[in-house]
Structure 1
Amino acid sequence: MKNTIAERILDFLKGFPPFDALTYDQLFTISSQVKVLYFEKNDFVFKQSEEIHDFFYVVKDGAIGIYRDSLLVDQCDEGDIFGLRAVIRKDQYLLNARAIEESIVYSISSTLLEEIIINNPKANQFLIASFATNTRNPYSDENKGTLFANEDVLRPNSTSFTEVQSADFSKNPIVCSTNTNIQEASSIMSKNKVGSIVITEKNKPIGIVTDKDLRNKVATGKHAISENITSIMSTPVITFPPNITVAEAQIGMLKNDISHLCITEDGTTETNLIGILSEHDIIVIHGNNPSVLIKEIKRAKTAETLKFIREKAQGLLQNYIEQSIPISFIANIISAINEAITKRIIDLSLAEFESPPTTFSWLAIGSQGRKEQLLLTDQDNALVFEDVEPSEIERVRTYFLTLAKSINTKLNTVGFEYCPAKMMASNPKWCLSLTEWKDQFTNWITQPDEDTMMLCNIFFDYDMVYGNKELVSQMSDSIFEAISKYEIFLNYLGVNAIKNLPPLSFFRNFLVEDSGEHKDQFDIKARAIMPLVDAARLLILSHNVKDFNSTISRFNKLAEIEPQNKDLFESCINAFRVLLRFRTQQGLKNNDSGRFVHVQELSKAERLKLKGAFKPIKDIQELIRVRFKLSQIM
């Protein structure tokens, strides 16, 4: 008899890592043994210092708050895992887990964790990666152990990444004078949405009041709101200089049993207050992982805040690269962060305008559309809006061009530079109605030339970031419909795909630029990465397959469609991974796009690794040359 409950649980879990890495049978085994738990608001799943349960948990619906005492340190939403650290540590819970709202939670046996998830390489790699930047427990002064008894894999360089880095503190502390009463001070805190206020005299800190003081000293009736703020302040304050490290901040808070530190000019109470460092700030540093960053993105109110978060994502990228986390995983994470930032920017921009006159979709194109934009490079995007009456189209276009300009400006503030070629939605050429996009694609396909081939290579790699999915689906259908009527287009696309020669000369030397700004440098993008990107795009289009936009996913699908060429496609995947990682490493090292490489600076091992990645380029180009009979039209 079919287990419909298990099937429903399986359908939910397979959409979230690490469960998406499991086989159907593995996932069904887990789903069949899941316990479904219901919690009303404020119910505890587990409590601090409680002996561990033989389970870890996944949020199905609702939200579970993770608390240290009464301080919310994280919020787990749909698909989030919690309670896993304690199971792995085999120790008491260090935090409280309490329902923020009515919630349904899946409880999964720790036995299944050990038997299935940890023994699955991809799932295990996800767990390692998810702990990689946050292996210490920030609420304890000693390390409680490692994840899978392999510390070198988990944190080869974690000390330099967190504990000894400078702590990032708020440089705009909220303050009041000694003659302020409790009610006035509380209003100031509420208006500024902060959990603390510093009492100062001549800009020097003499005391501090936190939300905890208001709860314990005022809400309990011990003090009236009309009393002076000094009656409930904690004094003296604990001060540190601006160059305080994360480790010093943690020790200072633990030693003094406080949650806020005052930052002064010289680290004493005798100089001016310049900042405030809270326990939450430390948690955010330790919680520099994708889920924390994306939650920060969703709460961001300005593009400037999003810029700060994206800079932290760059640190996350650096750490992942150093830890040799798989490049596909890294690309998915960074792409998810970039997409979340773009969505938030669109929401912020929409809030500045009247409601859209019709539905629309925002498209990431090029490398961002393929989810291969790891470094902060220029932005490429487009916009499609629903068809309207001819008399209304220019009015509607004006609205969306104005909206797109606002979005492009905010993306630039975050760090995504304007596209030099103006491949952006604020350009009237790339802000079109659905019918206009269809006509555009048809024109490119039926009248191909060098310029339209270049545009196809960019715009056929699109991914919907925001808006009406149906518009994008119809755009895709129009591309395949036009190609089916004018198949010679694929031959032209094939010529374009092999225009860049394999990266090595006859004597197996790197083909470098022979003139210009980058003379004697190797263009890893044009000569190595793009030939693989172009080949994957061409071949997937030739099979009339849509919704596979990344280079790796395209080659994987091609291996399934053409099993006789599976080895070649898999070698292309491996080569692409090597090249993408290498470019990312170069970009992080030189603080640029990583595109141009000084060959003479490469080690012998690096040269050999790159040369090994070049062979599939020649082979895939030869397959394209034969399949599309390019010798006849070149």
Structure 2
Amino acid sequence: MKNTIAARIADFLKEFPPFSLINEMQLQMIAREVRVIYFEKGKAVFRKGDEGHDQFYIVNKGAVDLQKVKDNGETETIDKCDEGDIFGLRPLFAKENYLINAETEEESILYAIPIAIFKPVAEANIKVGNFLLESFASNTRNPYSTEHKGKLISESSEEFQPDSMFELQPVPVVKKIITTVPETTIRTAAKLMSRKRVGSILIVENDLPTGIVTDVDFRKTVATGSLSIDTPVSEIMSSPVICYSKHLTIAQAQLTMMKHNINHICITKDGTPNTKIKGIVSEHDIMVFQGNNPSVLMKAIKRAGSTKKLKKIRNRITYLLRGYIDHNIPLTHISKIMFELNDATIKRTIERCIEKLDTPPPVKFAWLSLGSQGRKEQLLLTDQDNALIFEDIPEEKLEETREYFLKLAKKVTKRLKTIGYEFCPADMMARNLNYCLSYTEWKSKFSDWITAPGSDEILLCSIFFDYDITYGDIRLSNGLADHIFEEVKNNKKFLSILAASALRNPTPLGFFRQFLVEQDGNNKDFFDIKKRAITPLTDAGRVLSLSHNVKNISNTAERFEKLAQLETQNRELYLACSYSSKALLKFRTRHGLKNKDSGRFINLKDLTKEEKIKLKRCFKSIKDVQDLIKIRFEISPYL
């Protein structure tokens, strides 16, 4: 009669080296002698100084920490063993006591492999012996340390040649900048610029950038006689100033300048106008590339005269994305460039639709991109989420004005669908009467969501709190953002409910660290990487940032990096969350490009053992940050 337990053990072992390197007969022989051992969480498999066991181990279910014991008795995790990992090899090579601890991180099932049975097989099989020697020698790596973090997808730029990817190098920054205050006259500012031989001057208040004046501004105003040279520079300055951090790349700078029709960018400490100026970048400092690169695509978008052409350009953007992914370009660079190209595509679509309407917009308005595009995380073509704010007007003209913008929004969203951005399944788009509102109506709506939050309101907040202006008057979007932060400030009840909502998708692993997959529907048995992994980190970053009143940062990775600065005691956790958010997004993008879809649903059968293990390591960040949120916001299991 067949030993079914041994057969199941053999089926498991043959999936992992070194057991995958031996023949079926030897595998069955070993499987019959394997002991199956159950350990509760936090139990020692062996301790430093223990006499070597007559067996080594492979993880069947669960996880085991390998710990170094310091001189003061404290322990430090130096490796983590997941499904299929082997450990406890010392008795195979030397009759010595263990030098480290092995402790279960959670409930675990281990297979104990008798050394007496396995050693003759290893000695007779060179490949098996070499694998065990390498595993034994390398069993001190710490995948969670800052230096040796186990990377799901490389964030190193060493895999591509700088010459072939020059546009991704940091942009040259001029650190010797010329500044003045808003009250300075045009005459004085011009003399200062001439004396310093510069083409621009930054206008500052309290050492923060509030505007910029260039030679072009002088030609447009003073040279034409529109203004006197004794007029304050505040009358001609461009404001607000477009700001970035020092990590701005050449490609991103080119795209930004073309998008905003500017030739200077201000570099500040954190990339916003709220911190100290570090330098300035001008168009003359940048080499303009020729060929099929982001700059050329941006120019093509701005010149596109039809939706059909924009669709073709968007397909070329996908090819560019594929090249970046294949070259392992850092995700930070990829997301910023893709955001600018997506943003420009939407902006050009809006411009063309306005041109096709009989009359220009009756009042100033702002088109907001929501969700992943609002967070600068939309790499693949996914569904569109957007909203529209228009300037306050007299009550008698409100509905007439709304009709104009609804008509515009329907045209825009229809063309975006043609380009490849599908309609939002929940109709959270500017063409919806509920999301095409005046400035005051939007303020009132957000106030209602925040002061009386139900499940629907919290869901809407999670979408509408992450937005970026794509087209129109930035004062409307900034004013709305200020209103939101004022409403949320010190509102512990709302933050607690939002925090509870951030826990609605728990860690993506179930019992014995198995992936939680879809139970029914078209994606049955597939892993939903968006709902199970990316969204929990996004939600956590949002609520923690709101609690610190962090403005002007909506990107998930950047939110966690900012939190690492604000909470030094949790720096390691937040940096791990930042890394995990980028790694998971890049992983989704790889699979989306491979399968020509959104990359949301992953067939686990397509993943290698290494991919599964490294995904699980990213999931640890989700569990840790959710545990922090539970404690900080005092979330009860019944809330």
Q: Following the alignment from structure 1 to structure 2, what is the Cα–Cα distance between the partners of residues 317 and 532?
A: 23
Structure 1 residue 484 displacement after superposition = 2.8
With the length of structure 2 as denominator, give the TM-score of the two structures.
0.56
Q: Following the alignment from structure 1 to structure 2, what is the Cα–Cα distance between the partners of residues 513 and 312?
A: 33
For the aligned residue pairs, the C-alpha RMSD in angstroms reads: 3.0
Structure 1 residue 37 displacement after superposition = 9.8
1:439 and 2:444 aligned: yes
Q: Following the alignment from structure 2 to structure 1, what is the Cα–Cα distance between the partners of residues 530 and 637?
A: 28
Quote the residue 2:321 is aligned against: 317
Quote the residue 1:455 is aligned against: 460
Quote the residue 1:527 is aligned against: 532
2:380 to 375, 378, 384: 375
Q: Which runs of 5+ in 1 are unaligned?
A: 1-15, 27-34, 39-59, 63-78, 83-102, 106-129, 135-282
The count of residues paired between Structure 1 and Structure 2 equals 380
Contact 1:37–1:104, Cα closer than 8 Å, also in 2: no
- 1:348 is aligned with what amino acid? R
Quote the residue 1:347 is aligned against: 351
Q: Following the alignment from structure 2 to structure 1, what is the Cα–Cα distance between the partners of residues 527 and 460?
A: 24
Q: Which runs of 5+ in 2 are unaligned?
A: 1-166, 178-195, 200-213, 217-247, 252-261, 265-286
Against the structure 1 CA distance between its residues 334 and 391, is the aligned structure 2 distance closer, same or farther, given a 3 Å change threshold? same
Q: Following the alignment from structure 2 to structure 1, what is the Cα–Cα distance between the partners of residues 172 and 433?
A: 42
Quote the residue 2:496 is aligned against: 491
Please show how residues 392-541 of structure 1 align to structure 2 within 5 Å: 392-484=397-489, 486-541=491-546
| SS in structure 2 at match of 1:432 | strand
Quote the residue 1:289 is aligned against: 293
Q: Following the alignment from structure 1 to structure 2, what is the Cα–Cα distance between the partners of residues 80 and 19?
A: 4
Quote the residue 1:307 is aligned against: 311
Against the structure 1 CA distance between its residues 80 and 632, is the aligned structure 2 distance closer, same or farther, given a 3 Å change threshold? closer
| SS in structure 2 at match of 1:617 | helix
Contact 1:381–1:425, Cα closer than 8 Å, also in 2: yes
Contact 1:306–1:414, Cα closer than 8 Å, also in 2: yes
Q: Following the alignment from structure 1 to structure 2, what is the Cα–Cα distance between the partners of residues 633 and 445?
A: 20
Quote the residue 2:595 is aligned against: 590
Cα shift readout 1:507-566 (whole Å, capped 9, x = no counterpart): 111111122221111110001000100000001111112111111111111111111111
Structure 1 residue 25 displacement after superposition = 9.6
Contact 2:169–2:250, Cα closer than 8 Å, also in 1: no
Q: Following the alignment from structure 1 to structure 2, what is the Cα–Cα distance between the partners of residues 484 and 315?
A: 43
1:386 to 388, 391, 394: 391
| SS in structure 2 at match of 1:364 | strand
Q: Following the alignment from structure 1 to structure 2, what is the Cα–Cα distance between the partners of residues 380 and 560?
A: 31
1:630 and 2:635 aligned: yes
Query: Using CA pairs below 8 Å that are at least 6 residues apart, which structure has the higher relative contact order?
Result: 2
Q: Following the alignment from structure 2 to structure 1, what is the Cα–Cα distance between the partners of residues 624 and 632?
A: 12
Structure 1 residue 608 displacement after superposition = 1.4
Against the structure 1 CA distance between its residues 300 and 487, is the aligned structure 2 distance closer, same or farther, given a 3 Å change threshold? same
Against the structure 1 CA distance between its residues 457 and 432, is the aligned structure 2 distance closer, same or farther, given a 3 Å change threshold? same
- 2:487 is aligned with what amino acid? A
Moved more, 486-495 or 525-534: 486-495
Contact 1:384–1:432, Cα closer than 8 Å, also in 2: yes
- 1:302 is aligned with what amino acid? S
Q: Following the alignment from structure 1 to structure 2, what is the Cα–Cα distance between the partners of residues 569 and 24?
A: 31
Cα shift readout 1:223-255 (whole Å, capped 9, x = no counterpart): xxxxxxxxxxxxxxxxxxxxxxxxxxxxxxxxx
Q: Following the alignment from structure 2 to structure 1, what is the Cα–Cα distance between the partners of residues 306 and 419?
A: 10
Moved more, 498-507 or 423-432: 498-507
Structure 1 residue 315 displacement after superposition = 0.2
Q: Following the alignment from structure 2 to structure 1, what is the Cα–Cα distance between the partners of residues 623 and 604?
A: 20
Identical-residue share of aligned pairs (%): 49
Q: Following the alignment from structure 1 to structure 2, what is the Cα–Cα distance between the partners of residues 341 and 294?
A: 8
Contact 2:489–2:547, Cα closer than 8 Å, also in 1: no
Q: Following the alignment from structure 2 to structure 1, what is the Cα–Cα distance between the partners of residues 371 and 426?
A: 13
- 2:406 is aligned with what amino acid? L
| SS in structure 2 at match of 1:630 | coil
Cα shift readout 1:433-463 (whole Å, capped 9, x = no counterpart): 0110011001111111111111111000000
Q: Following the alignment from structure 1 to structure 2, what is the Cα–Cα distance between the partners of residues 392 and 399?
A: 11
Contact 1:61–1:104, Cα closer than 8 Å, also in 2: no
1:360 to 349, 365, 375: 365
Quote the residue 2:557 is aligned against: 552
